[in-house]
């Protein structure tokens, strides 16, 4: 079992899904959280974390950087990372604005609003890590279906196209990276589309009306920043080098899979027609 021990820094949504799969396959998985919940280690409990790090064959970090202090894992535990497989869950936000054009792993980083994330991304790459750059993540319990049901979903008057990824495709991508060379990999679906199309399709699957349209100017500042950066993210390197293919190549396939685990919407809700997307 010495070669199948994973330490996860930041046992959140995506990393937790990975941990569950690897545990089922016989791995020993130990994770950290801020408060040590559910049997995890508290991130700042150095006396407990350092022995777990020393015993790990694989390390995955999914904690976002602090805007001022930088990457917390590298700052506190960076001295014990050498000699093992390293993975880091980054963001496609490191590419910044590409004017709506395509970007791949050769595109420049650090030009957008995610400057701390871009710096952490570069630091992990310099340490020989497998850096998985992720777009908007969705899956069971965290998807447009949940937002439509909760009444918090909205559409906008913007026509941006965005990439996204199902959480289980992140899991399969990271696992494929165990036997691949280090470097940056974009894990995204194949068909960037507008958030409006995704929200409307989610509403249609639930048999609920599409949520209202809100002008960009009425959104919070952080959301306006999200729409200010336009890019389409290519996943060709992950397919070529990792041998990875997304099980959910577009939002329709992904949301149908999530919907299959969701209870039906009220029968009184009339299903609208789903908006088509431009590919």
Residues 132-191 have pLDDT tens digits of: 999 999 999 999 999 999 999 999 998 889 999 999 999 999 999 999 999 999 999 999
CA nearest 121: which of 85, 70, 166? 70
**CB under 8 Å to 67, separation ≥6 — which residues?**
116
CA distance 44 to 35: 9
Please report which confidence band the pLDDT of residue 226 belongs to, taking 50, 70 and 90 as the band edges: confident
Q: Give the per-residue pLDDT at 95.
A: 95
- pLDDT above 90 for 222: no
pTM attached to this predicted model: 0.91
- Cβ atoms 261, 267 nearer than 8 A: no
Q: Give whole-number Cα distances, 269 to 204, 214, 257, in Å.
A: 10, 22, 21
**What is the pLDDT, as a whole number, of residue 262?**
61
pLDDT at 235 over 70: yes
Residue owning tokens 């022995």: 51
What's the rounded Cα separation, in Å, for the pair 192 and 149?
Answer: 23
Alpha-carbon gap, residue 126 to 88, rounded angstroms: 12
The neighbour count for residue 249, using CB atoms within 10 Å, is 16
Alpha helical stretches, state H, the chain: 13-24, 46-55, 72-77, 115-126, 144-150, 167-177, 195-206, 221-228, 236-237, 251-259
pLDDT higher than 70, residue 272: no
Give backbone dihedrals phi and psi of 71, rounded to 5 degrees, phi first. Answer: -75, 120
Six token digits for residue 62: 């999914």
Pair 136, 164: CB distance under 8 Å: yes
At 191-211, the pLDDT tens digits run 999 999 999 999 999 999 999
Residue pLDDT, tens place only, 32-87:
999 999 899 999 999 999 999 999 999 999 999 998 889 999 999 999 999 999 99
């Amino acid at each position: 079992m010495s070669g199948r021990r994973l330490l996860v820094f930041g046992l959140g949504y995506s990393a937790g899904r990975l941990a569950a799969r690897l545990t089922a396959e016989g791995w020993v998985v130990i994770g950290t959280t801020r408060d040590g919940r559910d049997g995890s280690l508290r991130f700042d409990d150095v006396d407990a974390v350092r022995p777990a790090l020393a015993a790990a064959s694989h390390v995955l970090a999914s904690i976002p950087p602090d805007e001022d202090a930088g990457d917390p894992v590298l700052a506190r535990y960076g001295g014990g990372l050498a000699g093992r497989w390293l993975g880091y869950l980054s963001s496609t936000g490191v590419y910044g604005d590409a004017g709506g054009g395509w970007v791949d792993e050769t595109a420049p980083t650090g030009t957008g609003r995610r400057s701390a994330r871009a710096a952490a991304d570069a630091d992990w790459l310099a340490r020989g890590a497998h850096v998985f750059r992720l777009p908007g993540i969705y899956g069971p319990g965290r998807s447009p279906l949940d937002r439509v049901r909760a009444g918090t979903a909205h559409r906008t008057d913007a026509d941006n196209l965005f990439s996204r990824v199902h959480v289980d495709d992140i899991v399969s991508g990271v696992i494929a990276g165990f036997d691949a060379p280090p470097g940056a990999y974009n894990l995204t679906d194949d068909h960037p589309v507008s958030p409006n199309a995704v929200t409307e399709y989610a509403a249609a699957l639930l048999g609920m009306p599409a949520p209202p349209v809100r002008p960009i100017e009425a959104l919070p500042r952080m959301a306006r920043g999200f729409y200010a950066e336009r890019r389409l993210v290519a996943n060709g390197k992950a397919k070529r080098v990792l041998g990875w293919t997304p099980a959910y190549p577009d939002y329709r396939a992904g949301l149908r899979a999530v919907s299959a685990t969701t209870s039906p919407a009220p029968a009184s809700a009339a299903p609208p027609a789903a908006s088509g997307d431009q590919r």
